[in-house]
Amino acid sequence: MPDAGGTRPRLYTIPPSAPFLSTLARAMLNGDLPVPGGAKPDPLTLPRAIIYLPTRRAVRALRDAFLDAAGGHAVLLPSIRALGDPDEDAAIIFGGEGNAEEGFAGAAGARGIGPLERRLALMRLVLAWSKKLHESGAARSGQAVPPVATPAQASYLAADLGNLMEFIESEEVDLAALDELAPEEHAVHWQHTIEFLKIVTEHWPAHLAEHRLVSPTARRNALMDFEAARLLAAPPAGPVIAAGSTGTVPATARLLKVIASLPNGAVVLPGLDFSLDPESWASLAEHPEHPLTPRGAIRLGTCARRA
């Protein structure tokens, strides 16, 4: 992992037995993040910190956790931002309002298509595909994806296609090799599926480009990459903490990698297992989907120790 600050990346963990957000808030107020045993932040330095959490719900809960950890005293909170909500306003989540027009808006600032708008557009594409299938005489009962006869059927297929696209875009999967996935004995059957999936691979990208739109997931991925590049180019003076996310989405993992290597950065992982033997730790490299990461984390809270 690159090291922007000249030291090893900072990884921490909070054990499952401890309340995650309350422990995180206390660690910040005690000066244990981003460096254990650091100086406690005063009321003017704490707002300079930036904390990234997985969801907006976690953002709201951490604000309450800070107020509880402060013992009822008034406190200026850090900047707490959500990673997992692609429909958030980019100017508010990342970079601040002043950077929006010249930053993210210039890189990938097309309007994200809404869920209902996307479903209706996909319905039209599904109905057009079904009509073409009927006109060509290719429709038959043994087909992989049967033609649709009603808008309700098109709506269900549109919803499934939307879920499929979210997964594909989140995992950054390349669909270029679809033609070669099926063995020879299933090639004809698979071709019907390929024709149907052209709605996703060809017609949907053309629809977005024509209307100057972008999918919410693609927008989120671009937003993550933009924020990672911004942090590397100009590391903030205050602490930068990412907590609660395990980086299972590639774009999020890239951002966490940058944050962990910043001079004032740290990543706090939930419930890292310290009991695994060396062979099990080594095997994690073969399973990139696994939420655990290699050794090097430090426990926060009452059981603090280096792995």
Please indicate, yes or no, whether residues 200 and 228 belong to a single structural domain of this protein.
no
pLDDT: which is higher, 272 or 285: 272
pLDDT tens digits, residue range 139-163?
Answer: 554 555 566 768 899 999 999 999 9
**Contact call for residues 78 and 28 (beta carbons, < 8 A):** yes
Global confidence as pTM: 0.78
Q: How far apart are CA 220 and CA 170, in angstroms?
A: 9
Is 306 contained in some domain?
no
pLDDT at 307: 29
pLDDT tens digits, residue range 218-235?
Answer: 888 888 898 999 999 999
Please indicate, yes or no, whether residues 33 and 90 belong to a single structural domain of this protein.
yes
- Which among 214, 249, 265 is the end of a domain? 214
- Which among 193, 214, 235 is the end of a domain? 214
Please indicate, yes or no, whether residues 291 and 227 belong to a single structural domain of this protein.
yes
Q: How confident is the model at residue 197 (pLDDT cuts 50, 70, 90)?
A: confident
Please indicate, yes or no, whether residues 44 and 58 belong to a single structural domain of this protein.
yes
Backbone φ/ψ region at 288: left (φ over 0), alpha (ψ -120 to 50), beta:
alpha
Is 246 contained in some domain?
yes
Please indicate, yes or no, whether residues 129 and 184 belong to a single structural domain of this protein.
yes
**Residue 24 lies in domain:** 11-97+218-299
Please indicate, yes or no, whether residues 209 and 295 belong to a single structural domain of this protein.
no
Please indicate, yes or no, whether residues 151 and 179 belong to a single structural domain of this protein.
yes
Computed over every residue of the chain, the mean pLDDT equals 78
Is 3 contained in some domain?
no
The CA-to-CA distance between both ends of the chain, in Å, stands at 18
Please indicate, yes or no, whether residues 167 and 226 belong to a single structural domain of this protein.
no
Please indicate, yes or no, whether residues 118 and 205 belong to a single structural domain of this protein.
yes
pLDDT at 192: 74
Please indicate, yes or no, whether residues 119 and 210 belong to a single structural domain of this protein.
yes
- Which among 190, 214, 238 is the end of a domain? 214
Is 5 contained in some domain?
no
pLDDT at 7: 53
Is 257 contained in some domain?
yes
Please indicate, yes or no, whether residues 194 and 253 belong to a single structural domain of this protein.
no
Question: Is the pLDDT confidence value at 88 over 50?
Answer: no
pLDDT tens digits, residue range 38-81?
Answer: 889 988 889 999 999 998 999 999 999 999 998 878 889 999 99
**The total number of structural domains that make up the chain:** 2
Question: Is the pLDDT confidence value at 109 over 90?
Answer: no
Using a pLDDT cut of 90, give the percent of the chain over it. 36
Question: Is the pLDDT confidence value at 193 over 70?
Answer: yes
pLDDT tens digits, residue range 16-36?
Answer: 889 999 999 999 999 999 998
3-state SS record for the chain:
CCCCCCCCCCEEEECCCCCHHHHHHHHHHCCCCCCCCCCCCCCCCHHHCEEEECCHHHHHHHHHHHHHHCCCCCCCCCEEEECCCCCCCHHHHCCCHHHCCCCHHHHHCCEECCHHHHHHHHHHHHHHHHHHHHHHCCCCCCCCCCCCCCHHHHHHHHHHHHHHHHHHHHHCCCCCCHHHCCCHHHHHHHHHHHHHHHHHHHHHHHHHHHCCEECHHHHHHHHHHHHHHHHHHCCCCCCEEEECCCCCCHHHHHHHHHHHCCCCEEEEEECCCCCCCHHHHHHHHHCCCCCCCCCCEEECCCCCCEC
CATH number, domain at 225? 3.40.50
Is 164 contained in some domain?
yes
Question: Is the pLDDT confidence value at 89 over 60?
Answer: no
pLDDT tens digits, residue range 241-254?
Answer: 999 988 888 899 89
Is 307 contained in some domain?
no
pLDDT tens digits, residue range 166-190?
Answer: 999 988 888 877 776 666 666 666 7
Is 105 contained in some domain?
no
Please indicate, yes or no, whether residues 63 and 138 belong to a single structural domain of this protein.
no
